[in-house]
Amino acid sequence: MNTTNEMNLDQRIDAIEAAYEFMLAYAAQGRRSDQGGGAASDLRDYLRKMEAALDGLAEAVTARMQSLSDGSVAAFEPFLDAVRQDAARALAIVRVVMAKSAISSQLIDNVNASIHLRALLTDLFVVDESLKEEG
């Protein structure tokens, strides 16, 4: 089993939110590149953690919802479809950024503004809050 599958839902949500918060700060720094050490070198680490958290996120959300609803997710299926799509799109964006040899603050600012990433974050807020109310 790889480490991606070993992450529980709470760890995934924490990793995604931490990466997003780091990226907000990185975007404000006006950097041309993530090369050169310091906080800039942490960017790829946050992106790797976000990538791992996104890979399998929809399955983790589905499993958690099943555990809270006696195994039936029929009522949640349209929402779970949205989570799947938003997670896949956010993962694609992260992978595009990670493929770059240098990651600028401007690129990260555009990622932060992406409707796909924002939709996923909103999905996760809904999941997180609904799970708190259940348990």
Number of separate domains in the chain: 1
pTM summary value:
0.87
User: In this structure, what CATH number is given to the domain that contains residue 115?
Assistant: 1.20.120
The model's pLDDT over 24-65, given as tens digits with 9 standing for 90+, comes to 999 999 999 998 777 777 999 999 999 999 999 999 998 888
Q: What is the pLDDT of residue 1?
A: 35
Domain that holds residue 120: 3-134
Please check whether residue 116 is in contact with residue 89, taking contact to mean a CB–CB distance below 8 angstroms: yes
| Exposed / middle / buried, residue 8 (Cβ in 10 Å: 0-12, 13-18, 19+) | exposed
44: nearest Cα among 118, 3, 88, 103: 103
